[in-house]
Amino acid sequence: MSPVLFETRGKVAIITLYRPERRNAINAEAGHALAEAIARLEADDALQIGILRGEGAVFCAGMDLAAFSEGKVEELLFSEGGFGGLTESHRTKPIIAACHGAALAGGFELALGCDMIVAEEGCRFGLPEVLRGLVAGAGGALRLASLIPPARAREILLTGRLFDTAEAWELGLIARRAEAGQATEAALALAEEIARNAPLALRETLRLSREIERRAVDPLWSENARTLKAIMESADAAEGAKAFLEKRAPEWSAK
């Protein structure tokens, strides 16, 4: 079965990350499949909006660590459109992330790359890359710092701590909250409300509403890529991944 499923409900596309046994972690195959699903949404004139959701216990646990051993990291992160064809894409149709369980590391970056987040109560969010010798280079560091007060963003990014739906709501990161088990239904209700509106007006309103973030973030993607590549080649990044797999504390060398 494909690692990404695509279905439609009227004018709404529902895109499902379908690797529940791997907590929907994104490997090369899933990354390509997600990019294709987003392109399909964009190309279909009958569709007005998309929902990105995860199957199983969580929304998405991030990039699959197997991508490191398979030499697929650059392919995943630096392909057209960024991670999953989403984080750096210039879309004309909105996408809502329906988050439950956890949206961590690259999973949270996918959610931040969407236009709105609907989250169940108790969902955990975070960018714990620094705990593994990495940076949140699929838009996490750039976007979080542009969306919430800088001091709060740095505290989250530099500690790598997790936070829940209530704090995400307080920070203004999520558009709507849902009861447990209702993230997809709440996202669908929001999507259908939006899809009733005029297509041209939706597209142009979306474009204008993105301008502040786009002007803040887009000029920094090349610097982001340089930093990410340098960090991924570091000894600390290798040690972070090794320590995680061996279930031990990392021993950093600052190299």
What residues are labeled active site? 109, 129
Cα–Cα distances (Å) from 112 to 98, 107, 145, 148, 230, in that order, read 11, 9, 11, 12, 23
Which residue type sits at 4? V
Vertex 14 angle, CA 148 and 25, to 5°? 65
Burial of 169 (0-12, 13-18, 19+ CB in 10 A): middle
Comparing CA positions, the residue from 111, 116, 76, 125 lying closest to residue 96 is: 116
Q: What is the chain's Cα-based Rg?
A: 17
Question: Using CA atoms, how far apart are residues 21 and 151, in angstroms rounded to an integer?
Answer: 36
Q: Could you identify the residue written with the tokens 């009958």? A: 46
